[in-house]
Amino acid sequence: MSSIATFRSFLLGGFECSTHRRPDGHCLDLLAATAHDLLAQADYRELARHDIRSARDGLRWHLIETAPGQYDWSSFLPLLNAANSVGTQVIWDLCHYGWPPTRSRSGPGPAVTREGSIPARSAAAQSSNVS
Residue 51 CA: distances (Å) to CA of 44, 48, 88, 91: 10, 5, 10, 17
Statement: residue 31 has pLDDT above 90: yes
Over residues 86-95, mean pLDDT:
88
Q: What is the pLDDT of residue 126?
A: 62
Q: Tell me the whole-structure pTM to 2 decimals.
A: 0.78
Instruction: Mean pLDDT check: name the lowest of 18-27, 53-62, 76-85.
Output: 18-27
Q: Give residue limits of the domains in the chain.
A: 12-124
Query: Residue 22: is its pLDDT beyond 80?
Result: yes
Give 46 or 109, the one with higher predicted confidence.
46
Cα distances (Å, whole numbers) of residue 119 to 35, 43, 72: 25, 26, 11
pLDDT at 131: 47
- Select the more confidently predicted residue: 99 or 89: 89
